[in-house]
Amino acid sequence: MRYIIGIGIVIISLSIGFWQSASQAWSVAELKTIQSLSLDTLRPLPPNRTNLVADTSLAQTMGHQLFFDTRLSLNGLVSCATCHQPQYRFTDQKKVSTAIGTSKRNAPSLVGVAYSPWFYWDGRKDSLWSQALSPLEDEAEHGGHRLFYAQFMLADEIYRRQYSLLFGTPPDLTDLYRFEKTSGDPKQPDWQSRWSQMPKREQRVINQIFSNMGKVIAAYERLLQPGPSRFDDYANALTKDNESGFVDYLTAWELYGLRIFIGKGNCTQCHNGPLLTNNSFHNTGNLPLPGTTPDLGRRSAVRSIQADPFNCRGAYSDNSEACDELSFMQTGKETIGAIRTPSLRNLSLTAPYGHAGQYPDLASIIRHYDIAPQALVGHNEAKPLGLWPWERQALEAFLLTLSAPPTTAEKWLSPPAQ
């Protein structure tokens, strides 16, 4: 009996402490932090100087069509939307994506992705248009190659007309002496050798068309902008009157989680700003999936991005001088095992979490950061948090308040009308 009474006293004490914490007014510093996380502080998307068609309506329309077109794949069944599904905030809710084959990493959300200076979990691409090219030739994703895509697009009457209006009259790819007809299979006999033997001027023709495809897909993806969540409504109201306001916007439990997020949880060290990401790379000790080797993360991307013909300094960039990120990127041992910090918006629809979907739910990934285990490669930057079970649960409740439909017009969130 005494044991039961004792447990009851503990629960009551914790409840009182929790309610006091939830109803307590924020300090000036806390208010400033909360305001900095509000979507209202997100600046308009800046122009992409390496992509001159990035904000033109025709490029957006063409990119929308290409994004949902399954003909841009070796088997005619895979589109960009196969792994980036609008109903799941442009993810696929799988540990690792499956298309032509099986990918090694999780498909991140595309909502707000245009604000990032780096793309993929390891940041091996430095522009949204350059990133859009890689899946097309990845044997686990679309599975084709650039000559096939260029020939297909210019053979399609609608795409050819759109391309001509955006980029000028395209070259004649029906000249089989210059551009042999291809099935699109990169494993077909002698494809690689034939590509390497193709004159450089012909390779440049194909690469230019291919890069322009990426630029129109990126123009569409720039439209995928996050919408205000319950947290944003709360932050905006809070800025006006410095009241806790949880009755109208957030519950006391969610407010408690917000306190942990900006305080004891140390979450804002990496998940800051209105998109709740610092767009940088960190080793946080994430374990690989069973049967796979540890992911070197950013370390494996450094050389590939420097050698990429479609990087900011490459011949297909519309401004090879706008490359500060590429010029000053980190290349040392701190990149070993480092993974790009994801946005925390829309977590309610984007599970599983982690670069390889290692965490099936928020509780498991919060537990991981609470423990902060040693990294298998490199050094885990995170430190144990020492959260109580109810603190982890409150933190999870707060994170779910960050979900909201995108502000993108409905017509862009489904395949274009035929």
Q: With pLDDT > 90 as the criterion, what percentage of the chain qualifies?
A: 77
**3-34: b or e for each residue (b if 16 or more CB lie within 10 Å)?**
eeeeeeeeeeeeeeebeeebeeebeeebeebb
Of 358, 356, 375, 366, nearest to 400 by C-alpha is 366
Give mean pLDDT, residues 189-210.
84
pLDDT at 264: 98
Check: CB of residue 26 under 8 Å from CB of residue 237: no
d(CA 62, CA 242): 46
Task: Output the CA torsion sign for 52, 58, 62, 67.
Answer: positive
Confidence of residue 194 (pLDDT cuts 50, 70, 90): confident
Environment class of 206 (CB within 10 Å of its CB; exposed 0-12, middle 13-18, buried 19+): buried
Instruction: Select the more confidently predicted residue: 24 or 227.
Output: 227
* 311 token code pair: 């990087």
Residue (of 56, 72, 316, 311) closest to 211 by Cα position: 316
Q: Is 365 helix (H, G, I), strand (E, B) or coil?
A: helix
pLDDT grade, residue 322 (50/70/90)?
A: confident
Architecture per CATH, 57-225:
Orthogonal Bundle (1.10)
Q: Is 273 left (phi over 0), alpha (psi -120 to 50) or beta?
A: left
Cα–Cα distance measured from residue 221 to residue 276, given in angstroms and rounded to the nearest whole number: 19
pLDDT, greater one: 173 or 258: 258
- Rounded CA-CA distance 82/107 in Å is 10
Q: What is the pLDDT of residue 82?
A: 97
| Contact (Cβ atoms closer than 8 angstroms) between residue 366 and residue 398 | no
* 303 contacts: CB under 8 Å, gap ≥ 6: none
> Do strands 339-340 and 281-282 pair parallel, antiparallel, or not at all (unpaired)?
antiparallel
Query: pLDDT category, 179, cuts 50, 70, 90?
Result: low
Write out the two tokens for 346.
């829309």
Give the pLDDT of residue 174: 75
**Where does CATH 1.10.760.10 sit in the chain?**
2-46+227-402, 57-225
Is residue 307 a contact partner of residue 125, using CB atoms and an 8 Å limit? no
State pTM to two decimals.
Answer: 0.92
Count helices and strands in the chain by DSSP H and E runs: 16, 2
**What CATH class does 2-46+227-402 carry?**
mainly alpha
pLDDT band at 65 (very low <50, low <70, confident <90, very high): very high
Strand-pair partners of 125:
119
Q: Put residue 346 in one of left, alpha, beta given phi > 0 → left and psi -120 to 50 → alpha.
A: left
pLDDT for position 241: 62
85-99, 238-252, 306-320, range with the lowest pLDDT: 238-252
Torsion 70-73-77-82 (CA) sign: negative
At 114, list the tokens.
Answer: 């245009």
| pLDDT band at 12; cut points 50, 70, 90 | very low
Q: How confident is the model at residue 246 (pLDDT cuts 50, 70, 90)?
A: very low
Dihedral sign of CA atoms 167, 173, 178, 182 in order: positive
Neighbours of 292 (CB within 10 A): 11
Helix or strand holding residue 352 (H, E): none
Transcribe 223-267 into DSSP letters: T------HHHHHHHHHHHH----TTTTS-HHHHHHHHHHHTTT-G
DSSP helix/strand/coil, 133: coil
Can you give the pLDDT at residue 48?
Answer: 95
Alpha-carbon gap, residue 167 to 162, rounded angstroms: 9
CA dihedral sign of residues 185, 191, 196, 197: negative
